[in-house]
Amino acid sequence: MDTEYLVNRIASANDAQLVVIMYEGLMENLRACEANIDDIAALSGYVEKCRDVLAELLATLQGNSEIAGNLRSLYLFINGHITEGFNKKSRQHFVEAIQVVTPIYEGWCQLAANEDMPQSNPAIVAGLTYGKKQLNTFVNELKEWHKG
């Protein structure tokens, strides 16, 4: 993937799209592991990239909700498959990891497509208010912006 394209994509992505990009990177590196199973140096590098992405995905999980717990378990399962695939030089383990990741990735793609939160948090909100026989302007500086 072109680096400049990826940088622009990341810069303009909403939160869900960033997760989608991470899943794409994970699946790309899992495929590379499968393709480079006989090249230990290349395989080692791709395995490390997979683990880096999984670490970032784990870091995005907040709280102890059922969804967060299930995703944690899936990420650990995928990491175990990556380890087994590397240790046993088994393409099948990487194929199975991709099969686990794919439906999660597709779900995040749907979520990202539906997410309509603005990317840049406004620092100032300005507008007009109507009072009895008068038009008032106001400016309100936002100190903090939270998603619901």
Question: Per-residue pLDDT tens for 12-32?
Answer: 888 889 999 999 999 999 999
Question: Does pLDDT of 123 surpass 70?
Answer: no
Whether residue 76 is contained in a domain is answered as: yes
90: left (phi over 0), alpha (psi -120 to 50) or beta: beta
- pLDDT score recorded for residue 116: 57
- pLDDT score recorded for residue 93: 97
Residue 105: closest CA among 27, 5, 11, 6: 27
The domain tally of the chain equals: 1
For 95-111, the pLDDT digits (tens) are 999 999 999 999 999 99
Whether residue 83 is contained in a domain is answered as: yes
Whether residue 90 is contained in a domain is answered as: yes
Domain that holds residue 14: 3-114
Residue 101: closest CA among 50, 35, 27: 27
CB 33 within 8 A of CB 50: yes
**Token pair 């395995």 in the structure block, residue:** 47
**Token pair 């936002």 in the structure block, residue:** 142
